[in-house]
Amino acid sequence: MPPHPLAQRAIAELRRDVSRFDPLATDGKMFGVLVVAAADGRIGYLRAFSGMLGGTWHVDGYAPPVFDYAARERFWPAGEAELATIDAELAALDDRIAPLRAELAALDERHLGELTAQRDVHAANRRDRHAVRSGSRSTPSTDSNDDASGAKRTNASHELDQLSRADGAERKRMLASHRQQREPLTAKLRVLDFERNQIERRKTARSRELLVAIHETYAFANARGELRTVRELFAPAEPPGGAGDCAAPKLLALAYREKLRPIAFAEVWCGAPPATGGRHDGACYPACRGKCGPILAHALGGLITDPLPIFGSTVADDEPKLVYQDAWLIVVDKPVGLLSVPGRGEQLRDSVLVRLRQRYPDATGPLLAHRLDLDTSGLLLAATDQQTYGALQRMFESRVIDKRYVAWVEGVIAGDTGTIDLPLRVDLDDRPRQIVDPVHGKQAITEWRVLERTATRTKLALFPRTGRTHQLRVHAAHPRGLGAPIVGDRLYARTPHDEPRLLLHAETLSLQHPHTGQWLTFERPASF
């Protein structure tokens, strides 16, 4: 949904102003505007940035931070200096540890070379002994010299055993020598590592104390005049890092302080996109849930606001339509706007799972074998019993169930086919949004093929080879993927639009029946 027209005008002015900030060319940032009314009826707007801008909290013309600056200054400079001193202690200790670790690594490398050389010699010795034993066993004997030959073979075998034991003893002596050579270094490192651990624990404890003190400087009002600290709003959990520093809390705090009535709010990303993707210059996004959710739930108290949408309220009672059913499997066609499984709260209970439970009261197990996003339509597979459900899960994990989606994306895609391999994880501060993370993300692979092109859009067939949340949507939108958001995507699109739905549909589902072995293919063409 596009921002309010007044908020759009404010964003246009904001973007003209932020063009003067050079750092945004390489490090983009979220900004916000809040349209407000004064007591005399005059309309204007406030603007803010998330966190700091150019290394400072205060920029003329922008909302100041929420925290009590004077209270923070009474303890933070000294606390920051104390942490810097601890960091200096750690750095000095690391300077002592580094050469010892390098010396130990060099020693281990030399020892490895010695062990490898000795192993090669011992391997050659074993081959020689094996050849001698084999030759001895193959030598024919006569009755007259059986006793002498037997004694000779016994003596030879004993000598070979002695040589084998000698090699083993030599190996043990070398390992013991290596341990003896390593011990002085490892002993020093144990002492220094213990000392470092103690300093780290001291730093962690002091950081925790300072963080609690910082949190106490954040207090948020609402339209009813109720004041709550950030720790109270997130209790019993700990507030996440940066809670209270986003644009939305800053703007509401300033509006209440100046006795202004909030009318409309919008947040816009300005500057280069982050490495994780999901943000585009000039695109508007909702306030994050992780850092802002509890704060805004309180700060908006007492205001008359637009009601939140109740998803699924307009979905017909006979949805989802049945596509296939036998004694073990159910396939349905999920409409847009119906959750796959219940969300939090009674208003978000209506879902495919709840409706299937009502239709099939005798079904056991989790029922749904996979999920589709709320905004995605198409084929969903369910199992009527636990055994079948387990079989389907193993098939999904083995990637032997084929799924084909169809989607329209913004822009004209170059090339006709391709594969996207970008690891994904949830954005911990803004669930359910997913972000690209090459370090902590899980592997996500999507194959694509162009079906049709227009002057401004491309129709694609998408084949997810993994099943990550929002995989197709992120892979389409991310600049290292297609760089072309799916039309109607309210989470990952670059700009607001009036498209009534997300143009993404699970069109085809193919699998081998887990009980009969028959190959099944189901298809429900997209309506777009």
As a whole number of angstroms, the longest Cα–Cα distance in the chain is: 130
Rounded CA separation 268/28 (Å) = 10
C-alpha closest to that of 392 among 377, 404, 380: 380
- Cβ neighbors of 513 (< 8 A, separation 6 or more) are 328, 329, 519, 520
377-383/402-410 β-pairing: unpaired
Q: For this structure, is 373 an active site residue?
A: yes
Measured between alpha carbons, how far is 266 from 284 in angstroms, rounded to an integer? 7
Looking at the DSSP assignment, which residues form a beta bridge with residue 116?
Answer: none
Closest C-alpha to 139, from 127, 148, 126, 149: 149
Q: How far apart are the first and last CA of the chain?
A: 20
Catalytic residue among 373, 375, 430, 489: 373
* Residue 47 token pair: 């603007």
Q: How many CB atoms lie within 10 A of CB 324?
A: 13
Packing angle of the helix pair 289-299, 247-257 (nearest 10 deg): 20
Which residues, including other chains, have CB under 8 Å from residue 470's CB and lie 6 or more apart? 373, 424, 432, 433, 434, 491, 492
Torsion of CA 214, 215, 218, 222, to 10 degrees: 180
Task: List residues with catalytic annotation.
Answer: 373
